[in-house]
Amino acid sequence: MLDRCVHEVVNSFVVGNSLLDRHQAGFRVGNSTETALINVLDEAQNAIDKRQVTVICMIDLARAFDSISYDILLAILRSVGFWPTLVSWFQSLLTNRWQKVKIAVGNESDWCEVMVGVPQGSVLSALIFLIFINRIVSRVASICSMLTTCKFI
């Protein structure tokens, strides 16, 4: 329940301050992978019609939610203007987490500290991920816009 309340606050802050690049479609209200694919195909067709070269770069972020560095995420939250108390809340949510894997009755791993990644199943996880990768998306778009023959889709 608490993570849903925090999600509302964080999402309002992110949307209100236009923190996410317009090219980010996943996990956003009114956007979907289908919408993103339609946009890519439309932009590619427009480029073909104008006899422009179109390059599509796709990055597979395997286990992306499990790879988020806490230190980098907290630094990003601070740099985009999140309130210090909210950054502290995220720090307490993410750090000092422990887990063990249970395969069958009596067959389980030892406890180990979780050093990276966001909590699975939390409504906040996708939003945290979008904030985390936003600089990558923005940077690629920025580099691409410097090239006169390149169109970032």
* Percent above pLDDT 90 for the chain: 26
Residue boundaries of the structural domains of the chain: 2-146
Contact (CB, 8 A) for 71 and 79: no
pLDDT band of residue 43 (cuts 50, 70, 90) is confident
Sign of dihedral through CA atoms 60, 66, 72, 74? positive
Give the whole-angstrom CA distance, residue 14 versus residue 32: 18
> What beta strand segments (E) does the chain contain?
97-99, 102-104, 107-108, 112-114
Sign of dihedral through CA atoms 90, 95, 101, 102? negative
pLDDT for 143 equals 66
pLDDT tens profile 74-109: 999 999 999 999 999 999 989 998 988 888 888 899
Kindly report the pTM of this predicted structure.
0.74
Q: What pairs with residue 104 in β-bridges? A: 107
Sign of dihedral through CA atoms 150, 151, 152, 153? negative
pLDDT tens profile 9-26: 999 999 899 888 777 766
H helix or E strand, kind and range, residue 70: helix 70-79
